[in-house]
């Protein structure tokens, strides 16, 4: 399944300067066209760039902000005072006038005002930055943009002419009536590049209403005689038994002089559809030549017949006696209204015809036809003489298979911050642009995130969300909820997932799917599993982290009827009932065509739920619902998909993984694009080619010492295990540490061995190495060591054993000479003359495979067993250097691949004798400025350096 291919040219869309491209101004016909245009054309693969004001919700590929909200408001005040210089004494008076819902904001539609002049100045500058031929500049209000465009080498096209004074070479009219009038007024012959496309609508914003509850005749337009409001008064006088409602901008007082005529303030957004669907008939006795009549078509989309005058576009939009009546006399209007009251119109037919004629996603193809025909004049194809024709795009009898739809998930997420792996979620969303769009509603800024094109974000405060909830109750249930519903129990918001599309007024095509989801997921390549051309009714079942339904009225309103007490469940803000995964899921049709998403995802179960989920006998700790008897080794993400690997070697690709709010240390940005998820870590793709275990002996220290060692390790994104050997007195510290770092394990030293702990640890390690399931082991000190980079990422090649060199030779160090002299005594032969020229290797860090470490520990224990002095601190380093340089007791001989690394190699930086280099990030680096993975003997740093390192942990108050 593929979406339409990307078009070869782009569309530049300036806003209506005196309004916002937002639902709040959708009752302006010109703004409504701009509002819908981007979504319509993006469905055909066009990139659309919108130029407007902060807060616009254009649906464009990119929004270029020309004004802040405050700048725009200030310019509106200046402009109304410019147009009415004697009416307002202060800016406050002018603002109050503009804020009055009865004020017709079309008064500001004047290109000589400060608002228009500044809009065009800024639009010109931004367009110059973004435009390249043969892009089209799509203008919705004619000469309003001339100041910006007149001396620019661009291709402008008027995209919806329903106004006087159209002037461009390329024009699209709303009706044949208006094009014919324009040809007559301009006294011109018809033009091959003048087209007619009717106004376009998202038909889902106007739900079908088969039986209005109360007989009502409605009007929705600018209040005034030119729209026929005085005629409506006369009709009402002859029909006192009927109720008439006038809705719109303007002064209604001259028309509410009869008791059965009432006024309703202007409405916008989804409320328009609800109002029009509630009417028995819609009246439009317009006195002038109507170019189109937007509200008349919106009414028909709801199934409401229209009674109107018999001129202008009404001859095209109203099928006489089928979808309404066109009238000439007062009694014609009275008779037609009575027909509607008597139920003489087939409202289903009214709806069907309107949908077929005015669906924006059908008319998008007509626009594509026009745009490609115009561009052929400029791209060398010959224009009118071109051998290419795009006429097939306008053939309504052919249904294009190119766009079977997309899944649109609504997600509401409010709080202080997104999860620290949110960028990884966004990246996984980006690879699904062919099938998935996420609509995110949040109060959290996305500054600093790389947001994909298939993420639509609407910022709002928690208070604005609460208001949307109150509006939802009023509009959908007729219920008034005055108390902020979510204030005392924010998690209640999850209950409303099944209604997000109505709460947030989701606009999508009838070919699309609506649904809901979560952000604690990582998507795989979903189109590897789902082919939307198979026309599913439903994707998923009762899992709220990914659920989608076909975009039909029945599914969209199912939340209202899934339970008889649905309203009570929604407005009870003291508990979460699980309505989205419970009663709603149970109400879904049992025989619908469903894709079983449950079978193709990984639902990772939190460890705190083990008792609830695990079957008897299972010891799994990191598992999903696919098989709860075995652990997951890791989940591996790449742009090609998401694969789960289990500890027994089984693998399976999944459509997505649900992480169940699992917490991870902040993953490194370098992991993006190829990463693994283990029980509590996200790390780079190369990292889990090897499993690393850190093994240390550390006892008798403050808790902060343990936390510093472990914390710096896991902060790098490390995903392996840590095993700490301690005395029994430190066991409580280990319990506390494990609560913060679940991958930390501890072993209580019960070994009956009189040796000093620096020797004794090797005997304990020798036992423990046999129990570890790992690819590599790091033996290390812990008191004076910390981590700066993830050791899993270091490429150790094929080495079985790696030792780390300091910056001093053995012969020059009195401590190492003394230890080796003791070993010479035990061995009965000279050692120092043979190895003294070698650089010291510190025994505080040794790294290798289990094979290499096992051989190393066996040899260390053999030598130390021969040592007479058992309480000799430091002797282990003498033994360590003897083994590495003499090799007599490493029994595998040539089969053991041993490697030495220096401080300059960057894996371990041992600071005792070397230079101490620190970069601007307060990281210890090598002499060539590479950040070291491990810093050993940090206590040798000067105070001014120690004060700068890792402020998260205690490096100051002693060791």
pLDDT tens, 143-167?
999 999 999 999 999 999 999 999 9
In the predicted structure, residue 73 carries a pLDDT above the cut 90: yes
Q: Taking a C-beta distance cutoff of 8 angstroms, is the pair 949, 940 a contact?
A: no
Among the residue ranges 383-392, 493-502, 731-740, 862-871, the one predicted with the least confidence is 862-871
pLDDT of residue 688: 43
* Overall average pLDDT of the 817-840 stretch: 86
DSSP bridge pairs for 194: 171
Please give the biggest Cα pair distance in the chain.
128
In the predicted structure, residue 537 carries a pLDDT above the cut 80: yes
Mean pLDDT of the chain: 88
* Overall average pLDDT of the 461-470 stretch: 85
Among the residue ranges 195-204, 369-378, 870-879, the one predicted with the least confidence is 870-879
> Where is pLDDT greater, at 60 or 6?
60
pLDDT of residue 491: 79
pLDDT of residue 887: 62
In the predicted structure, residue 894 carries a pLDDT above the cut 60: no
- Give residue 400's pLDDT band: very low, low, confident or very high (50, 70, 90): very low
pLDDT of residue 210: 83
pLDDT of residue 363: 94
> In the chain, what percentage of residues exceed pLDDT 90?
50
> In the chain, what percentage of residues exceed pLDDT 70?
93
pLDDT of residue 685: 60
* Overall average pLDDT of the 685-708 stretch: 82
- Give residue 217's pLDDT band: very low, low, confident or very high (50, 70, 90): very high
Q: pLDDT, tens digit, for every residue of 422-452?
A: 999 999 999 999 899 999 999 999 998 999 9
pLDDT of residue 874: 77
CA 441 from chain center: how many Å? 9
Q: Is the dihedral of CA 643, 644, 646, 652 positive or negative?
A: negative
Q: pLDDT, tens digit, for every residue of 362-381?
A: 899 999 999 999 999 998 88
- Tokens of residue 717, six digits: 């994104």
Among the residue ranges 195-199, 297-301, 766-770, the one predicted with the least confidence is 766-770
Residues 6+ apart with CB under 8 A from 836: 809, 810, 811, 817
Give the pairing type, strands 641-646 and 632-638.
antiparallel
In the predicted structure, residue 458 carries a pLDDT above the cut 50: yes
Nearest to 483 by CA among 496, 466, 507, 458: 466
pLDDT of residue 959: 56
* Overall average pLDDT of the 518-527 stretch: 92
- Per residue, the 3-state secondary structure of 130-196, as one string, reads HCCCCCEEEECCHHHHHHHHCCCCCEEEEEEECCCCCCCCEEEECCHHHHHHHHHHHCCCCCCCEEE
Q: pLDDT, tens digit, for every residue of 653-669?
A: 899 988 877 677 777 77
* Overall average pLDDT of the 210-227 stretch: 92
DSSP bridge pairs for 157: 138, 170
Q: What is the pTM of this model?
A: 0.50
* Overall average pLDDT of the 510-533 stretch: 89
In the predicted structure, residue 891 carries a pLDDT above the cut 50: no
In the predicted structure, residue 609 carries a pLDDT above the cut 70: no
pLDDT of residue 227: 96
- Tokens of residue 760, six digits: 């004794």
Q: Tell me the CA distances in angstroms from 198 to 174, 398, 774, 859, one per residue in order.
A: 4, 19, 68, 88
């Amino acid at each position: 399944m593929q979406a339409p291919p990307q078009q070869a040219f782009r569309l530049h869309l300036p806003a209506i300067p005196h309004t916002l491209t937002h639902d709040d101004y959708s009752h302006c016909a010109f703004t409504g066209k701009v509002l819908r245009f981007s979504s319509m054309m993006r469905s055909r693969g066009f990139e659309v760039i919108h130029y407007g004001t902060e807060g616009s919700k254009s649906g464009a590929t990119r929004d270029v902000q020309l004004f802040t909200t405050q700048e725009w408001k200030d310019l509106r005040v200046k402009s109304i005072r410019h147009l009415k210089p004697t009416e307002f004494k202060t800016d406050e008076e002018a603002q109050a006038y503009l804020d009055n819902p009865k004020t017709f904001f079309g008064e500001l539609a004047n290109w000589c005002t400060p608002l228009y002049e500044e809009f065009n100045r800024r639009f010109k500058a931004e367009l110059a930055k973004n435009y390249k031929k043969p892009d089209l500049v799509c203008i919705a209000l004619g000469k309003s943009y001339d100041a910006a465009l007149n001396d620019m080498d661009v291709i402008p096209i008027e995209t919806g002419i329903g106004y006087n004074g159209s002037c461009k070479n390329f024009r699209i009219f709303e009706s044949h009536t208006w094009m014919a009038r324009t040809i007559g007024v301009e006294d011109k012959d018809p033009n091959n590049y003048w087209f007619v496309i009717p106004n376009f609508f998202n038909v889902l914003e106007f739900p079908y209403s088969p039986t209005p509850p109360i007989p009502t005749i409605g009007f929705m337009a600018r209040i005034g005689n030119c729209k026929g409001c005085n005629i409506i008064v006369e009709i009402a006088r002859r029909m006192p038994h009927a109720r008439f409602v006038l809705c719109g901008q303007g002064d209604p007082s001259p028309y509410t002089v009869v008791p059965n005529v009432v006024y309703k303030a202007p409405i916008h957004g989804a409320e328009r559809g609800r109002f029009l669907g509630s009417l028995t008939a819609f009246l439009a006795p317009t006195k002038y030549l109507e170019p189109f009549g937007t509200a008349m078509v919106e009414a028909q989309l709801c199934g409401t017949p229209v009674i109107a005058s018999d001129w202008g576009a009404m001859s095209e939009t109203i099928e006489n006696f089928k979808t309404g009546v066109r009238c000439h006399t007062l009694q014609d209007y009275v008779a037609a209204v009575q027909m509607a009251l008597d139920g003489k119109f087939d409202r289903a037919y009214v709806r069907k015809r309107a949908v077929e004629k005015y669906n924006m996603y059908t008319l998008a193809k007509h626009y594509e036809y026009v745009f490609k025909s115009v561009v052929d004049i400029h791209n060398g194809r010959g224009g009118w003489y071109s051998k290419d024709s795009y006429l097939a795009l306008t053939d309504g009898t052919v249904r294009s298979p190119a766009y079977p739809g997309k899944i649109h998930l609504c997600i509401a997420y409010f709080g202080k911050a997104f999860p620290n792996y949110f960028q990884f979620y966004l990246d996984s969303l980006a690879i699904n642009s062919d099938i998935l769009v996420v609509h995110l509603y949040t109060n959290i800024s996305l500054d600093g995130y790389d947001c994909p094109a298939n993420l639509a974000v609407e910022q709002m405060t928690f208070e604005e969300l609460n208001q949307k909830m109150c509006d939802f109750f009023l509009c959908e249930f007729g219920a008034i909820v005055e108390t902020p519903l979510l204030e005392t129990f924010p998690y209640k918001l999850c209950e409303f997932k099944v209604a997000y599309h109505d709460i947030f007024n989701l606009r999508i095509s009838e070919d699309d799917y609506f649904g809901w989801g979560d952000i604690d997921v990582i998507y795989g390549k979903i189109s590897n599993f789902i082919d939307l051309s198979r026309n599913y009714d439903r994707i998923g079942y009762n899992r709220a982290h990914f659920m989608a339904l076909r975009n039909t009225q029945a599914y969209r309103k199912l939340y209202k009827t899934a339970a008889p007490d649905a309203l009570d469940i929604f407005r009870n803000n003291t508990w979460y009932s699980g309505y989205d995964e419970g009663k709603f899921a149970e109400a879904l049709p049992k025989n619908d065509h469903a894709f079983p998403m449950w079978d193709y995802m990984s639902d990772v179960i939190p460890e705190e739920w083990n008792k609830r989920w695990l079957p008897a006998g299972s010891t799994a700790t990191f598992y999903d619902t696919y098989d709860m008897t075995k652990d997951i080794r890791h989940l591996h993400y790449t742009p090609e998909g998401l694969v789960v690997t289990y500890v027994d070697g089984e693998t399976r690709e999944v459509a997505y993984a649900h992480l169940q709010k699992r917490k991870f240390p902040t993953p490194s940005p370098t992991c993006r694009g190829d990463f693994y998820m283990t029980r509590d870590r996200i790390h780079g793709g190369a990292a889990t080619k090897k499993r690393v275990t850190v093994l240390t002996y550390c006892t008798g220290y403050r808790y902060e010492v343990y936390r510093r060692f472990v914390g710096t390790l896991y902060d790098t994104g490390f995903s392996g295990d840590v095993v700490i050997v301690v005395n029994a007195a430190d066991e409580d510290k280990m319990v506390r540490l494990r609560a913060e770092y679940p991958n930390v394990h501890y072993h209580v030293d019960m070994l009956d061995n009189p040796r000093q702990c620096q020797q004794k640890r090797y005997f304990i390690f020798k036992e423990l190495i046999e129990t570890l399931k790992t690819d590599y082991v790091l033996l290390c000190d812990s008191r004076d060591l910390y981590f700066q980079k993830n050791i899993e990422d270091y490429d150790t090649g094929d080495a079985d054993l790696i030792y780390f060199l300091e910056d001093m030779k053995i012969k020059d160090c009195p401590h190492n000479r003394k230890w080796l002299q003791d070993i010479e005594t035990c061995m009965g032969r000279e050692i120092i003359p043979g190895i003294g020229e070698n650089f010291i290797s510190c025994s505080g860090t040794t790294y290798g495979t289990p094979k290499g470490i096992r051989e190393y520990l066996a040899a260390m224990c053999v030598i130390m067993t021969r040592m007479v002095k058992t309480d000799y601190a430091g002797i282990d380093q003498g033994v360590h250097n003897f083994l590495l340089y003499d090799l007599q007791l490493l029994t595998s001989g040539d089969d053991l691949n041993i490697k030495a690394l220096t401080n300059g190699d960057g894996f371990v930086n041992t600071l005792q004798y070397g230079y101490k280099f620190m970069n601007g990030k307060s990281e210890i680096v090598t002499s060539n400025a590479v950040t070291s993975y491990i810093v050993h003997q940090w206590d040798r740093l000067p105070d001014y350096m120690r004060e700068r390192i890792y402020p998260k942990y205690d490096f100051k108050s002693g060791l």
